[in-house]
Amino acid sequence: MKIESAELLRLEVPLVAPFRTSFGTQTRRDVLLLHLVTAEAEGWAECVAMEDPLYSSEYTEAAHRVIADHLLPRLFGIPDLTAAGVAPALAGVRGHRMAKAAVEAAVLDAQLRAAGLSLGEYLGATQPQVVSGVSVGIHDSLESLLGTVAGYLADGYARIKLKIEPGWDLEPVAATRREFGDIPLQVDANAAYTRSHARHLARLDEFGLLLIEQPFDEEDIAAHAELSRIVTTPVCLDESIVSARAAFDAIRAGACSVVNIKPGRVGGYLEARRVHDVCAAAGVGVWAGGMLETGIGRAANLALAALPGFTLPSDISGSARYFAQDITEPFEPVDGRIAVPAGPGIGVSPLPEALATCTVRRESVPVPS
């Protein structure tokens, strides 16, 4: 397979409601899509980098430029390109995992469409549907939070995840437990705490949470290991897990008993599968995180989340959770589950009208003749 043309598209997709976390409030998604054309098939992928470098050092504009100027040119001259060959070809470029993940995903989508094989089948999915949870941002009041949670439970979501930060943790968790009883509930700190908060975080033990996600800085594995020794709530790592090797090291250090796998954060779906395998071998549970993806990224995440080691509810919610109009046919949970696309590749393509409405910029990347 050889790349014949490549185009980067920038979209502005408004969110149905502001989404607030410890690193800011989002009201829209600055989406970066990659569209590749080969003689055999087309491939689509979404880069999950956010508009500003707050969740990670990567951000949308930088990912756009590194894909156009550094990553794609390294692939254009490869006559028999496959997804497995993308990471070795791009190894000379340091970092930029989210950008690399998008490039690999687009190549993989084209490869599988040409072969008539779904991404789920290729990765080794064993489940036709994925249990869908929902992530709830930080609210201005407990009343507002409880109203939001009630709405999601009414929609059938199987698990609630509350974003927390210092000053917004014990009260919202306690209020949610009082109001809704023994629902599957977990919290996500997005590294908002320091080691000095360890005893405070231990007070969450009384609420029977599924897990506490990434309380400390992504590089502070030792702090997570210390916390794991003093709390009964399972500690989950997110931002700290940037590769299968990082997952192995964190597990060996006793820093976590659960891992959130985000393909963009680890550099692609092939590395995400390796993270899954490392965790499965160690008896560590995994679940699929989300980055407010459109239907392009959401479809691919569902295929990954259908692997056998994903035993906890995912963060892959329905399209309507974030968007009034998705750029693909919308994903809708039924009885708390979302079907894994069964078509070739990621199983979905952008809707032309929706894509045209949201696209604010296009860049064709020249392919040498």
**Active site members:** 163, 262
Q: Are strands 159-163 and 185-188 parallel, antiparallel or unpaired?
A: parallel
What is the C-alpha separation between 281 and 335, in angstroms, rounded? 31
Q: How far is CA 283 from CA 278, 315, 316, 338, in A?
A: 9, 21, 23, 26
The Cα-based distances of 287 to 142, 295, 317, 320 in angstroms read 27, 19, 13, 21
End-to-end CA distance of the chain: 15
190 — alpha (psi -120 to 50), left (phi > 0) or beta?
A: left
Phi first, then psi: give them for residue 200, nearest 5 degrees. Answer: -65, -45
DSSP secondary structure code for residue 283 in this structure: T
Sorted by sequence, the CB contacts under 8 Å of residue 217 that are 6+ apart come out as: 191, 194, 223
What phi, psi does 37 have (nearest 5°)? -125, 130
Q: What is the DSSP letter of 264?
A: H
Position 173: which residue type?
A: V
C-alpha span between 77 and 369 (Å, rounded): 9
Count of C-beta atoms within a 10 Å radius of residue 251 = 20
Distance CA 39, CA 67 (A): 21
Spatial strand order of the sheet with 42-47 comes to: 42-47, 24-38, 3-21, 359-365
